[in-house]
Structure 1
């Protein structure tokens, strides 16, 4: 109806203006082609055609706009569904244009949120496990300390020898607790990636020789020989000397505790390009393959080594892993029937902005 009204109005305007009507007639006469003087001009046809094109454009625009609104409403419904707790749901349909970017962003956001929730859940679980393990490891020696001191308090001993025995046992248990607390404190420090390192130039050759000498007396009691070798000699690296010393001390102590039947512990360092590899090796019993992938987990100990004589805190190798991570290196274990080696690889030059 609108188109008809416009045509009628245009026709009335032309007919009511003789000059315009005369001009249009002249144009029509000039636009005749062929032997039959076919006219290609008719303002009514042109006006109608133009209006039809406008109508088609308006219809297409409205349909596309309505479809875009429908897609947006569908996306909003999907978002509401996910927000209700269906975090495993994703917006699966494909659209064109900017709305597809919205869908992709929403799916990525949900994936990121789920990952963050899982990480937070694992952190909470890890904290609970840490508290449980520490509580268990502290309660056992603490119970013994209280028990033996209680016997002394109640004078439940028959001789000076019994008294010394009780106090000695309480002292050993207290020392065990102190070791656990120190290891736990060191573990929490090395797990803080933002903790500052005291980076300095370290002569690795001298450090390994000093470490071998410091453990020589303890090793000799078990008929184990200590040795250290660095290639090239006087190899200098950039590292935190205190933490690096703790790292290798833990590995040596681990070999002394668990290297059943070992006759030697060798510290061997060699430079490879811009890295240094340090091997802490012994010829003791092989570490079971099923345990090798778990050695650096906190509180993990190989089942065969759980005894009063050798059982440690279970944090030594976890501390090693933390110190290696702070230096942007890696550590692994290689164990067979002949030899067990812990291989530490760290960059020679420390870079504070280097990714872990």
Structure 2
């Protein structure tokens, strides 16, 4: 019996079976985990939540509503208040004024460097009073737009009844204004006169409740009145959905645990038998894949993880469960082969030695050692020591001529050196327009030319830095609303982590920090992509592109998003083939940004028209859709960075999509523009037509 066991324990069939079990368990665990994440919308706490009123789902229903109400009664109050400048953020205004003062220092003739900073600033206030007023006007306009958008957002809440007042301004979707009227609902939140009353009582024990109450605590309790109630029909529907998601998430958790146990046991056994033919075999047997360097192996493993994540992201959150098995299984198979290769090298004690870096450094060390051992360096040293005195002896008879020539040569070089030294001093003192003039050719002449080139570069760098500073100021002003909520949450939870002793709450705080930091990462990634596109630091490979085929194939790839958005796409194109001269990868990236914009902001159930026109030497590609939001800003403003059509800042986007698309099209020699006609939004890409002789 033992002999048979030994024969089968390390057989190729056994290894293949165990290998398949590892892949099955890994894929199953990952698929069950993804399914759980989809069902719970990333809220894994639903498994341990006792009832709906103590769940995160309950708090989330009222959180965004309360956030809108607190901003309206706390920050914006009324249109009249905004127009008076009451809502202007002092820090934002200070940044605007500082930017104008920098412009005053560099551009204005009224700036006098001999005056004190105080006197110059007083002069600046007089000269730039119109510009400062315009800056305040822009800020008021932005706040006014935000105020109306927040009021529009309040209209979408169904099943929630609310009343909010700061003593002067009132925002409500009901004729009810008294506490008692709101207390007739099956669930409500009442905040008035330093008190809060929440029903049912189980809600008081909800650990996520501070996400709602924390916003209200920042308002003046003497004047603030906020009533929020949930209708019975709304609650019944949400409780039913919560229970169904809880049951499904719990079942999937059991699957994850079962698959993980199978994965650990099967992988340990596979790692034990891989590379050997029996338990008594001390030799590790390698195959062709094991020749791959271990550091490159690790890079490939990390690359496959990134590739796996990218593929799941591309198919979309809703389709991740259906696609997780066909995506995960082949990648996991390739990854497991590479990991088992590392296990073999670990057993063979060649995990470090069989790396590319080790091989390079080892060969370099051997080369240096051989050169040193060969004596070639010693030979060169001997030649230098012997050759210099011999040269002096040979030229000794013409010493007067030599010393005179040397003196004249030295005088010219010293004069050139002094010119360079004086020029460097002037440049160091800030005179970037100074040019160092050194005649002739030689090291000093080249040095002077290089310094002049550096000066030119410094001038460009200073100008670029000033422009960059203005861009930074614009960035801070425009994305401050986007980063304020996650950043405030991160600061708050870090402070709570410092004080918290309960491990379960620490884990909860860390999860919140993880979510908020990922939101910030999305914004930062988009900013980097926009900077790279606008700088032109992207390789462009122009080729013949069949634009009709590209659009048709692309729409097929995003068909799931089209169906989810309930949009009907109509494509109009000429009967003859139409070819563009473009980079297919960059062109599709631009089109993908426009499609993403349509999916986010197009009116549900409406049509999207894609027109392809042959205009002779160019091909015009036009996207037309009806906006779900009122487009009360101009096309020029929408093309600016950080602008969004809805301005609500509750979506995951960063407002950079149109800017990136425009930059990528310009890189390919094309033109990009947009038009706004009422609620009709048009994006137009004009690219050179590809001719046969191109």
- TM-score bin (small chain): 0.5 to 0.7
Where does 1:179-258 land on structure 2 (aligned, <5 Å)? 179-193=522-536, 195-258=538-601
Query: Measured at CA, do residues 349 and 236 of structure 1 come closer, stay the same or move farther in structure 2, by a change above 3 Å?
Result: closer
* Secondary structure, aligned partner of 2:545: strand
Residues 582 and 687 in structure 2, CA contact (< 8 A), matched pair in contact too = no
1:343 to 672, 679, 684: 684
- The 1-side partners of 2:678 and 2:575 are apart by 29
Where does 1:44-193 land on structure 2 (aligned, <5 Å)? 88=109, 121-130=466-475, 137=482, 140-141=485-486, 144=489, 147=493, 154-156=503-505, 167=511, 173=516, 175-193=518-536
Q: Which has the higher helix share?
A: 2
Residues 601 and 629 in structure 2, CA contact (< 8 A), matched pair in contact too = no
- The 2-side partners of 1:223 and 1:293 are apart by 29
Residues 662 and 672 in structure 2, CA contact (< 8 A), matched pair in contact too = yes
* Secondary structure, aligned partner of 2:639: coil
- The 2-side partners of 1:294 and 1:215 are apart by 28
Query: Measured at CA, do residues 125 and 233 of structure 1 come closer, stay the same or move farther in structure 2, by a change above 3 Å?
Result: same
Instruction: Output one character per residue of 1:163-216: Cα deviation in whole Å (capped at 9) or x when no partner.
Output: 7x995x667645544432332232122112364312222221111112222222
Residues 199 and 240 in structure 1, CA contact (< 8 A), matched pair in contact too = yes
- The 2-side partners of 1:338 and 1:272 are apart by 27
1:278 to 614, 621, 640: 621
Q: Which has the higher strand share?
A: 1
Residues 262 and 282 in structure 1, CA contact (< 8 A), matched pair in contact too = no
1:320 to 661, 673, 676: 661
Instruction: Output one character per residue of 1:46-68: Cα deviation in whole Å (capped at 9) or x when no partner.
Output: xxxxxxxxxxxxxxxxxxxxxxx
Deviation of residue 278 (structure 1)?
0.8
Counterpart for residue 263 of structure 1:
606
- The 2-side partners of 1:188 and 1:269 are apart by 30
- The 2-side partners of 1:305 and 1:136 are apart by 10
Query: Measured at CA, do residues 311 and 195 of structure 1 come closer, stay the same or move farther in structure 2, by a change above 3 Å?
Result: closer
Residues 286 and 340 in structure 1, CA contact (< 8 A), matched pair in contact too = no
Query: Measured at CA, do residues 235 and 191 of structure 1 come closer, stay the same or move farther in structure 2, by a change above 3 Å?
Result: same
Counterpart for residue 103 of structure 1:
none
Deviation of residue 217 (structure 1)?
1.2
Residues 630 and 679 in structure 2, CA contact (< 8 A), matched pair in contact too = no
* Secondary structure, aligned partner of 1:252: helix
Residues 565 and 604 in structure 2, CA contact (< 8 A), matched pair in contact too = no
* Secondary structure, aligned partner of 1:295: helix
Counterpart for residue 52 of structure 1:
none
Residues 250 and 320 in structure 1, CA contact (< 8 A), matched pair in contact too = yes
* Secondary structure, aligned partner of 2:638: coil
Counterpart for residue 166 of structure 2:
none
- The 2-side partners of 1:134 and 1:280 are apart by 27
Corresponding position: 1:334 with 2:683: no
Instruction: Output one character per residue of 1:286-332: Cα deviation in whole Å (capped at 9) or x when no partner.
Output: 75353321111111123x44142x35111111101111221232222
Unmatched 5+ residue regions in structure 1?
Answer: 1-84, 90-108, 351-356
Query: Measured at CA, do residues 155 and 118 of structure 1 come closer, stay the same or move farther in structure 2, by a change above 3 Å?
Result: same
- The aligned length equals 235
* Secondary structure, aligned partner of 1:191: helix
Query: Measured at CA, do residues 333 and 171 of structure 1 come closer, stay the same or move farther in structure 2, by a change above 3 Å?
Result: same
Query: Measured at CA, do residues 219 and 153 of structure 1 come closer, stay the same or move farther in structure 2, by a change above 3 Å?
Result: farther
Deviation of residue 275 (structure 1)?
0.8
Query: Measured at CA, do residues 311 and 178 of structure 1 come closer, stay the same or move farther in structure 2, by a change above 3 Å?
Result: closer
Unmatched 5+ residue regions in structure 2?
Answer: 1-105, 111-432, 434-455
* Secondary structure, aligned partner of 2:655: coil
Deviation of residue 132 (structure 1)?
6.4
Residues 275 and 345 in structure 1, CA contact (< 8 A), matched pair in contact too = yes
The list of structure 1 runs, each at least 4 consecutive aligned residues, that deviate by more than 4 angstroms after superposition, is 85-89, 115-120, 131-140, 142-146, 148-153, 169-175
Radius of gyration: which is bigger?
1
Counterpart for residue 648 of structure 2:
306
Residues 608 and 625 in structure 2, CA contact (< 8 A), matched pair in contact too = yes
* Secondary structure, aligned partner of 1:278: strand
